[in-house]
Amino acid sequence: MTTAWKGHRPLLACSLALAVGATALLGVAAQGSSAAPEHPPAAGPGRGAQASPAAAGRHGTHTMAGTDGLASERDGYRLAPRTGTLSAATPTSLPFTVTGPDGRPVTDFAENQTQRMHLYAIRSDLTGYQHLHPTMAADGTWTADLPALDPGTWRLYTSFTPNSGPHKGTEYVLGSTLTVPGTGGAAQLPAASATAEVDGHTLTVRAEPTAAEAFPLTVTVTGPDGRPVGDLQPYLGSYAHLSAFHEGDLALAHLHPITPVTAGGGGPVLTFYAMLAEPGNWRVFLQFRTAGRLHTAALTLRVP
Ligand SMILES: [Cu+2]
């Protein structure tokens, strides 16, 4: 998904082996890293079993920065929405381009998680999560079909990977703030919780998060019958997609489980390798698919 994640995969081979000692996970990491650059499996000096952004940065040319969507421009790539204002209470098509270092709209994007462009949106009170896949015209103009959005301030995130040019293969997450005119109060953030319910499913999250340190996060899914599920279907090439938004600055972290997609269905346990840059509250949205239906669960994760 992100530069961060690409950076993570080789990192996984290093640090999870130390932290978990799991050769099975090593296999997963190796499987997932075929497109990632080779890195020596060495731990960061003095960091012991802990992974860190610094350690990740030491592992290659990709850096951890720039995938939180807080910037609209990076390395000459710029997100340019055609408008900064969307109409309220009605579905809207939002055209935008990503311009490259040469100032022209980029048209050559690599597929990532089965898509060339992922778009996320969240209201400033961390409600209204959207995860969409815009379509691109030949001239590089993307169109995102947004549903009716509540009035307020929204942050938009585009996740893409140039497939040519000086930063070919680097994933970027560029963001932009949009206004939906009208009045609407801010919802209070739900209290931190280890469980979330959606469509009869219960998700239980286990993690001991530390800001700016990589940490394992597991999600256990039980079905409507109360039993652990084993029938998760791949969605966009993965058994789940986790998007976490930081209360306040709206930084985004998007994660996928290291649990590989296999024949026969996934679950009940999905393991993520999480990296949340800042302490505070993160609103976590978990998307997964069963029986052809996409579910989105949400919970608040407190990072001390
Ligand atoms: Cu997506």
- Structural domain boundaries in the chain: 3-58, 73-180, 195-303
Residue 27 has pLDDT above 70, yes or no: no
Given a cut of 50, is residue 138 above it in pLDDT? yes
CA of 131 to the centre of ligand 1 (A): 6
Kindly report the pTM of this predicted structure: 0.80
Q: How far is the CA of 175 from the centre of ligand 1 (A)?
A: 15
Mean per-residue pLDDT over the chain, rounded: 82
The CA 35 to ligand 1 mean position distance, Å, reads: 19
Distance 141 CA to ligand 1 centre (A): 18
pLDDT of residue 101: 95
Q: Average pLDDT of 19-43?
A: 33
Measured in Å, residue 81 CA sits from the centre of ligand 1 at 18
Distance between Cα 166 and ligand 1 center (Å): 24
- Residue 205 — very low, low, confident or very high, per pLDDT cuts 50/70/90? very high
Measured in angstroms, how far is the CA atom of residue 151 from the centroid of ligand 1? 24
Give CATH superfamily name and number for 195-303: Macroglobulin (MG2) domain (2.60.40.1930)
Which residues, 6+ apart, have CB-to-CB distance to 297 below 8 Å?
A: 196, 197, 198, 201, 203, 285, 286, 287, 288
**Cα gap 147→141, rounded to integer Å:** 19
Question: Can you tell me which residue has the tokens 């801010």?
Answer: 186
pLDDT at 18: 33
Distance (Å) from CA 113 to ligand 1 centroid:
7
Q: Which of 7-11, 155-159, 267-271, 290-294 has the lowest mean pLDDT?
A: 7-11
Which position has the token pair 């669960």?
A: 297
What was the pLDDT predicted at 61? 32
Query: Residue 49 C-alpha to ligand 1 middle, in angstroms?
Result: 31
For residue 217, pLDDT beyond 50: yes
Q: Is the pLDDT of residue 206 over 90?
A: yes
**If pLDDT is split at 50, 70 and 90, which confidence band does 55 have?**
very low
Q: How far, in Å, from the CA of 68 to the mean position of ligand 1?
A: 15
Confidence at residue 19, expressed as pLDDT on a 0 to 100 scale: 34
d(CA 5, CA 73): 20
Cα-to-centroid distance, 45 and ligand 1 (Å): 35
- For residue 47, the CA-to-ligand 1 centroid distance in Å is 33
Decide if 115 contacts 133 (C-beta within 8 A).
yes
Enter the tokens of residue 23.
């050769």
Please say if the pLDDT value at position 221 is more than 80: yes
- Ligand 1: centre distance to CA 24 (Å): 27
Q: What's the gap in Å between 146 CA and the centre of ligand 1? A: 14
pLDDT tens track for 155-191: 999 999 999 999 999 999 999 999 999 988 999 999 9
CA of 39 to the centre of ligand 1 (A): 27
**For range 91-101, the mean pLDDT:** 97
What's the CATH class of domain 73-180?
mainly beta
**What's the CA-to-centroid distance between 21 and ligand 1, angstroms?**
31
DSSP E strands, the chain: 73-74, 77-81, 92-99, 118-123, 130-132, 135-136, 142-146, 152-160, 172-180, 195-198, 201-207, 214-222, 232-233, 241-246, 252-255, 269-275, 280-290, 293-303
Distance 239 CA to ligand 1 centre (A): 13
Q: How far is CA 58 from the centre of its chain?
A: 22
Lowest mean pLDDT among 48-52, 145-149, 172-176: 48-52
Question: Comparing C-alpha atoms, which of 97, 177, 100, 172 is closest to residue 138?
Answer: 97
What residues are paired with 152 via a beta bridge?
Answer: 180
Phi, psi torsion values for 260, nearest 5 degrees: -75, 155
